[in-house]
Structure 1
Amino acid sequence: MEGRLGPGDRLPSERDLSADLGVGRSSVREALRVLEVMGLIRTATGSGPQSGAIVIATPAGGMQQLLRLQVAAQGFPIADVVQTRLVLEGAVAASLAASESRDTAAAHALLDAMDDADLPAPEFLALDAQLHLALAEASGNSVIAAMMAGLRSAIESYVLEGSARIDDWRGMAERLRAEHRALVAAIESGDGDSARSLVHDHIIGYYTASGLVPDAAL
């Protein structure tokens, strides 16, 4: 998380980690197993340059994989994921609106890309996800950004399936474009209450219109 280790770096041996951290080797082995399941490291037994534990991904990637597995195994109901998005993205919108050093350049570039009326639903939704993540990253809170990336990745297939249930996709896309621009405008004007309300209604609107989550669940 501090950035001192990255993809390609090798972890110390179990014996060294045990001594450095002041824990038993069994605890180290369990921690390494968890990191491997999360997709953060690769381990190999034996000796030589390919043995031991090597970092293969950043923590954000591991979180995305973990959340995807949880949703796929029905550990996290979609309604719970959506409610969590409401909390996180409401906080992001309010934080950005209150910031005097907010940077919305990336958001505007994505808004412009989404103005293409001929974009098919998968491409539009991919840009939509990038927009929400860009706002989270602009807030400066790396934990919220990582959690949001993981949540969006975890339910990506459900969001796409939901678009097929919307009879007038062009109309929905136009509505989403307008909502995105209104949200960014509220953030840039420093209106935190409006920004929080707009992102709340925006998220609920899509999930209910696509039949992914009933109104009563939110």
Structure 2
Amino acid sequence: MTETGDAEKPAPTPARAWRVVLEKIENDLLEGTLGPGDRLPPERELAATLGVGRSSVREALRVLEVMGLIRTATGSGPTAGAIVTATPQGGLAQLLRLQVAAQGFPIPDVYETRLLLEEWAVAHLAGLSDTDLADARATLAAMDHPDVTIEEFLSLDSQFHLRLTEAAGNVVVSATMAGLRTTIESYIRSGADRIPDWGTTGERLRHEHADILAAIDRGDAEAARSLVRSHITGYYADAGLPMPTDA
């Protein structure tokens, strides 16, 4: 009779088998066995090594792909199979969007997080000697078009702020902002309906955007930080949106 200590561990149940694959790949990433650009072992090999079905391997790979940790391609050749990606910001952004959609993040928390990220981004940009802000400038130019609608203006406004965080060069910051963008657009759009004189407000926002860029261009980090904070909080107050400290 085989002793308990020598008995083989039971195979994982199908409902949890895909987690075994996830844990294996996670451990390999943490230990440095796998890294960006590396190809995962074939499905058949992973299934045999881990004692799970190939369907469980495929389920785990789908989860990793949604998370942005791998990309998969069929066929043969150097681009086929499952390959570890170097910049999984798309997956992070998608997960944040889903959490917000499921009301996992309260809107006041999103607002405060936006302030933290954007204040850091503009101050960081102001400290750089060579920064490409062409996309941000192009967005502002589009906002100045005489025929731009309120909806288009607000969409471009959100895009402008996203372009600034992207230009700062921190992929985690830009991915977080991208994940929060839908929610940010939602509350600035709903707030616009409560602004009695949109023409005046829109003109003020245009000037504030230009002032933020000007502070970045002259390397004034403190001014850039102060301007972006007053810009965001000012709109929040004008639109009648509840501040995070409200009861």
The residue number in structure 1 matching 2:143 is 114
2:230 pairs with one of 201, 204, 207: 201
1:40 is displaced (CA, Å) by 7.7
CA contact (8 A) 1:68 1:155 kept: no
The residue number in structure 1 matching 2:215 is 186
For residues 106-133 of structure 1, what are the alpha-carbon distances to aligned partners after superposition, in whole Å with 9 as ceiling and x for unaligned?
A: 2221111111243212211111122112
The residue number in structure 1 matching 2:12 is none
The residue number in structure 2 matching 1:84 is 113
Task: Classify the secondary structure of the residue corresponding to 1:102.
Answer: coil
Change (3 A) 1:171 1:40: farther
CA contact (8 A) 1:162 1:211 kept: yes
1:192 maps to a residue whose letter is: A
Residue 176 (str. 1) matches residue 209 (str. 2):
no
CA contact (8 A) 1:179 1:202 kept: yes
Q: Take 1:119 and 1:137, find their aligned partners in 2: how far apart are those partners?
A: 24
1:28 is displaced (CA, Å) by 6.4
2:188 pairs with one of 152, 156, 159: 159
Task: Classify the secondary structure of the residue corresponding to 2:132.
Answer: coil
Residue 142 (str. 1) matches residue 171 (str. 2):
yes
Task: Classify the secondary structure of the residue corresponding to 2:147.
Answer: coil
Task: Classify the secondary structure of the residue corresponding to 1:87.
Answer: helix
Q: Take 2:42 and 2:160, find their aligned partners in 1: how far apart are those partners?
A: 41
For residues 144-176 of structure 1, what are the alpha-carbon distances to aligned partners after superposition, in whole Å with 9 as ceiling and x for unaligned?
A: 111111111234323222211222122211111
1:143 is displaced (CA, Å) by 1.6
Which is bigger in relative contact order (C-alpha 8 A, separation at least 6)? 1
Residue 4 (str. 1) matches residue 37 (str. 2):
yes
Q: Take 2:99 and 2:211, find their aligned partners in 1: how far apart are those partners?
A: 33
Q: Take 1:207 and 1:24, find their aligned partners in 2: how far apart are those partners?
A: 55
Q: Take 1:24 and 1:137, find their aligned partners in 2: how far apart are those partners?
A: 43
CA contact (8 A) 2:109 2:244 kept: no
- Shifted more, 166-175 versus 183-192: the winner is 166-175
Computing the radius of gyration over CA atoms, which structure comes out larger, 1 or 2?
2
Q: Take 1:24 and 1:168, find their aligned partners in 2: how far apart are those partners?
A: 66
Change (3 A) 1:11 1:123: farther
Q: Take 1:24 and 1:202, find their aligned partners in 2: how far apart are those partners?
A: 57
The residue number in structure 2 matching 1:71 is 100
1:188 is displaced (CA, Å) by 0.4
- Shifted more, 123-132 versus 66-75: the winner is 66-75
For residues 62-86 of structure 1, what are the alpha-carbon distances to aligned partners after superposition, in whole Å with 9 as ceiling and x for unaligned?
A: 3333222212222101110011111
Task: Classify the secondary structure of the residue corresponding to 1:216.
Answer: coil
2:115 maps to a residue whose letter is: L
Task: Classify the secondary structure of the residue corresponding to 1:116.
Answer: coil
- Count the aligned residue pairs: 203
CA contact (8 A) 2:135 2:163 kept: yes
Unpaired segments of 5 or more residues in structure 1? none
CA contact (8 A) 1:208 1:215 kept: no
The residue number in structure 2 matching 1:101 is 130
RMSD, aligned α-carbons:
3.5
2:213 maps to a residue whose letter is: V
